[in-house]
Amino acid sequence: MREMEKIISKRLQIWGYLNLNQKIDHALATMEKYEKEMKKEAYISFSGGRDSTVLLDLARRYYRKDILAVFCNTGNEHPEIVRFVRNTDNVRIIYPEMRLSEIIEKYGFPVISKEVSQNIWRMRHGKKCVAIPDKYKYLFFEKYEVSNICCKILKKDPFKKFQKETGMIPIIGTKAFDSQMRRFAYYKRGGCNSFSKQNPVSAPLSIWKDKDIEEYIQRYNVQICDLYTKENYKRTGCMLCGFGVNNYDRDRFEKIKEKHPRVYEQLYEIKNNGVSYYEVIEKLLKLEDYGKRK
């Protein structure tokens, strides 16, 4: 870790201990500074999930009550999320240019995690990559591809297009404590805001933790999607995503099988190089379980 990153990391640890009132003030100051510095109007990147719902509530409650929310319907969303978004005021819905099945057919399966799938793709295509855990190295030799390109096409590109067309800049609801990748993104930006001309972004909830989100929801009685309140979902995100299904989100596909059997059947239909999504996941889970028994 470079010197500057060490300082930012230390600051993140300290700010993580602030109380909710302090974190709200910090988030508001972050958004204000971002718009002022960039001299552009911002929108809230809204996924319909818990964190971005809190961000939208916070921005409209204390920052600007008519701030626009933008939701990308990837075609891979939980119907409950789409309903929730459609019932939220002042949301613009945008769409990607390809479907999940087309992306997988062309570029491979999104499995394990963004980092691992990206590195497997890079390695198989002769690019520089970082070390991959031994248990996933078999993926170099499979006849199908694995990659994280799906996120770019289904999510990043539609937002980029929207920004280019409107001149608006994004505010996102990510938290630096959620994953290593998000922490690195926070270090790389140099904090919550990036004032880069090509890639401006503000992440005012960076220093928040899950407990802050919970406290905010309780304090302001924020309405969040039913999936969290009635069905006990811990996270939502794309329905047919293989990130985390070998690990923290093990029962994702089982829940989909129960609730949305037609969507689940797509696991048999979506293929890369003749191999179905179902076969890829089944092998991954078998190897994961075998590894644990050893």
- Contacts with ligand SF4 by CB under 6 A lie at 74, 76, 110, 148, 150-151, 154-155, 237-238, 241, 243
**Secondary-structure breakdown of the chain: helix, strand, coil percentages, each rounded to the nearest 5:** 55, 10, 35
- Spell out the SS3 assignment of 186-230: HHHHCCCEECCCCCCEECCCCCCCHHHHHHHHHHHCCCCCHHHHC
**Chain-centre distance for alpha carbon 238:** 9
Report in angstroms how near the CB of residue 26 gets to ligand SF4 at its nearest: 28
Give the sign of the dihedral formed by CA 158, CA 160, CA 164, CA 170.
Answer: positive
Q: Which is nearer to ligand SF4, 49 or 204 (CB)?
A: 49
Q: Which is nearer to ligand SF4, 150 or 205 (CB)?
A: 150
Cα 291 to Cα 294: distance, rounded to the nearest angstrom? 5
Report in angstroms how near the CB of residue 155 gets to ligand SF4 at its nearest: 5
Report in angstroms how near the CB of residue 242 gets to ligand SF4 at its nearest: 7
Q: Which is nearer to ligand SF4, 70 or 238 (CB)?
A: 238
Q: Which is nearer to ligand SF4, 54 or 241 (CB)?
A: 241
Task: Write out the H or E segment, with its range, that includes residue 91.
Answer: strand 91-94
Report in angstroms how near the CB of residue 76 gets to ligand SF4 at its nearest: 5
Residue type, 138: Y
Question: Which residues, in sequence order, are CB contacts of 286 under 8 Å at separation 6+?
Answer: none
Q: Which is nearer to ligand SF4, 147 or 193 (CB)?
A: 147
Cα 155 to Cα 268: distance, rounded to the nearest angstrom? 24
Q: Which is nearer to ligand SF4, 104 or 205 (CB)?
A: 104
Cα 203 to Cα 27: distance, rounded to the nearest angstrom? 8
Q: Looking up tokens 């694995």, which residue turns up? A: 146
Report in angstroms how near the CB of residue 110 gets to ligand SF4 at its nearest: 3
